[in-house]
Amino acid sequence: MKPFIFVVFLCFSIVLNAQILNVESLRKVTDTSGFSGSTTLDFALKRTTNDFFTLSSKIHFQYKMNKHLALFKNDVKLQKIEGESFENGGITHLRYNYRFARRIAWEIFTQGQYNKISFIKFRGLLGTGPRFKLTKSENYKFYLGTLVMYEYEELEDNVTPVQRDFRGSIYASFSLYPIKTLSLISTTYYQPRLSQFGDYRVSNESSLLIDVYKNLAFSINYTFTFDSFPAEGIPNSQYDFATGIVYSFD
């Protein structure tokens, strides 16, 4: 196997922000041990009544060996309007899986995040829990994860105090491959605060991938997030829609 997979998205998008990282999008389906990964660089320039410039980079590495799987992800985004910084954010995520049964694995992860547009100065996570594969078929796969995580959060709304809480992180994911050239992946997360279930976050990310030529594919991605208690002045719901061209190789 090559040491990495290079992925380039040429995309146009309507973007707000996703506050919950979809880890299922990081996993590369492969039976081969060793390293794989991807790197993405997106940019956009737009002029209406103002000049908009957006630059984002994504780096993902994965290492698989027998029953062990390690994932690393780092995303950074910067947007400027008329030379003024309008939005910047980043997520660094590290996750380890150990598969101790044919369809059961144990996960441990840590994550650091900041996002100016959502007034998140810093959000740190540390969590663990089991992951279950619910199907045997290779044409359709269903997964369920039930994790507990510690969250440390500082907001920049000048209202909310520093938060130190335990949250659940329950996710359901499916991957469908109805024909050789078509795949659909969708993941939904539910993350309640364990001491107050009315404080919760919900996120869904769905991706449609259509192979057009060898390692070239057309992608459509949609993300929706809901936070029952966002920072002051931030809407409860946010969404992201993007289309693009994907090139990959091993």
- Number of Cβ within 10 Å of residue 198's Cβ equals 8
In the chain, DSSP assigns E strands to 12-15, 34-47, 51-65, 68-81, 84-101, 104-115, 120-133, 140-155, 163-179, 182-193, 196-213, 216-227, 237-247
User: Does the pLDDT of residue 53 top 60, yes or no?
Assistant: yes
Domain regions of the chain by residue span: 12-247
pLDDT tens digits for range 163-219 = 999 999 999 999 998 888 898 989 999 999 999 999 999 999 898 888 887 777 777
In angstroms, the CA 15 to CA 53 distance is 13
Which residues contact residue 80 at a Cβ distance below 8 angstroms, ignoring those fewer than 6 apart? Answer: 52, 53, 54, 86
Question: Hey, what amino acid is at 199?
Answer: D
pLDDT tens digits for range 114-124 = 888 788 899 99
pLDDT tens digits for range 66-99 = 899 999 988 887 777 665 656 678 899 999 999 9
Residues pairing with 27 in the sheet: none
C-beta separation of 16 from 237 below 8 A: no
Q: Which of 19-28, 59-68, 71-80, 220-229 has the lowest mean pLDDT?
A: 19-28
In angstroms, the CA 107 to CA 128 distance is 5
The fold adopted by the segment(s) 12-247 is: Porin (2.40.160)
55/104: higher pLDDT:
104
Tokens 């959502």 label which residue?
Answer: 118
By CB atoms closer than 10 A (0-12, 13-18, 19+), residue 22 is buried
Tokens 């829609």 label which residue?
Answer: 241
